[in-house]
Amino acid sequence: MKFKAHYLLIASAMFLANCSDNIDETITEEPGNEAIYPPVETGQANTNYPPAFAGQTRVNGVKTQTPFTNTVLTSALTAPWGITSLPDGRLLITQKGGTMRIVTNTGSVGNPITGIPAVNSNGQGGLLGICVDPQFSTNRMIYWVFTENVAGGTQTSVAKGKLSTSETTIENAAVIYRANPSASAGNLHYGGRILFDATGNLMVSVGERSDLSTRPLAQSVTAAIGKILRITKDGAPAPGNPTFSQAGALPELYSIGHRNPQGIAIHPTTGELWQSEHGPRGGDEINRVQPAKNYGWPTITYGIEYSGAVIGSGIQQQSGMEQPVYYWDPVISPSGMTFYRGNSIPEWQNCLFIGALSGEHIVRLVIKDNKVVGEERLLTGLSQRFRDITQGTDGALYAVTDGGRLYKIQKQ
């Protein structure tokens, strides 16, 4: 059953609960800029680690002035994980347990699509991120990430197949890449996002599997876990990949030093890859991912162990390791994300939208000159873990939640 909730956000009306009493005293930097409010995060941090630069965390708040609506198109999905658009505007959605569904823009949910290789859906595993071939209209190929049972445990794998014309099955499904090594200790931190870059190659995010025995491999160039990978449609290392100086580096590596990257997106104007990453207790990150760079985990981090112990040497900066563009402490658990490429809501143009799991909201980050200059929290108070978000062919944003909902967000 559908239902609709309207969100009308205007400067004199609706305030975030954690803002200060004098929030109505806004600051405008220059004509055309958004009004500035106090930071949206006021909770106690887990550490007293200082940021590396101003605006790296708890940046000023912003508020959407254009009225918009959010509509629940369906609540009939089962643990949806990834969402992407088909050329005709319908949505192709993965469900963690191992099925795909096609959903129309009015919320009609198709039957489960068969022919998908078996997944291990224990813990954080399952059928994860998905994307369609840029030439889908002619070749009907789709690509997805999943957790695969293999010798030695489980691993993050990439598969492809052809969606049948009847849209009931995946034809000739084949695994094209496996992120070695596999691990038997635990079922966490698979990463799992996938998208096409401008050259027609695939970018894939892979987690470091969480266990203390695998965590250090995020720094190893001979292992594919804890990395961003760049591969061809057939799973081979993509031409033009960066070269790492360390011996034995895997040719499919694009960047290293990641913990659990559950979101990747291409910036609309720069074409650069951006990424969201789960930190431990504190230290969730947004990174601008550049080739051959090291993003530090677990050597540097703004988080601590869940036990409260420091991680490694308890440092946040080290030469040769990149700083996050932005981080959160306490965490929001950032997952799938997308840049807004439309203009129907002017203040959203080129903003980064991120699904927050433990935060139970959608983050909007305003980015200028590769720095975050404003943060807003949307769709709060719904008790929904937002797993992924995408922009549809109609310009609206579509977001899925662990609870099985599909939201459509658009100008009123």
pLDDT at 361 exceeding the cut of 60: yes
pLDDT of residue 26: 33
What tens digit of pLDDT does each residue of 120-176 get? 999 999 999 999 999 999 999 999 999 999 999 999 999 999 999 999 999 999 999
Other Cβ atoms within 10 Å of 181 Cβ, number: 17
pLDDT (tens digit per residue) in 250-260: 999 999 999 99
In contact, 254 and 201? CB cutoff 8 Å: no
Residue 185 — very low, low, confident or very high, per pLDDT cuts 50/70/90?
A: confident
The whole-number pLDDT of residue 136 equals 98
Q: Is 114 within 8 Å of 171 (Cβ atoms)?
A: no
Q: Which residue has the higher pLDDT, 121 or 185?
A: 121
Integer-rounded Cα radius of gyration of the chain: 20
For 77-112, the pLDDT digits (tens) are 999 999 999 999 999 999 999 999 999 999 999 999
* Residue-range domains of the chain with CATH: 3-411 (2.120.10.30)
Q: Is the pLDDT of residue 31 over 60?
A: no
Give the pLDDT confidence score for residue 34 in this predicted structure: 85
User: What phi and psi values does residue 362 have, to the nearest 5 degrees?
Assistant: -110, 130
* Mean pLDDT of the 220-243 span: 98
pTM for the model stands at 0.92
- Report the chain's mean pLDDT, rounded to a whole number: 92
What does each C-alpha distance from 42 to 21, 28, 34, 59, 328 come to in angstroms? 13, 22, 21, 11, 11
Counting Cβ atoms within 10 Å, is residue 14 exposed (0-12), middle (13-18) or buried (19+)? exposed
Q: Which two tokens stand for residue 383?
A: 């008790």
Band (pLDDT 50/70/90 cuts) for residue 178 is: very high
Per-residue pLDDT reduced to its tens digit, 38-66 = 999 999 999 999 999 999 999 999 999 99
* Whether the Cβ atoms of residue 231 and residue 241 lie closer than 8 Å to each other: no
Q: Is the pLDDT of residue 22 over 60?
A: no
Q: What is the pLDDT confidence band of residue 4, given thresholds at 50, 70 and 90?
A: very low
For residues 217-235, average pLDDT: 98
Q: CB burial class (10 A; 0-12, 13-18, 19+) of residue 167?
A: middle
Kindly list the catalytic residues: 189
pLDDT for residue 186: 87
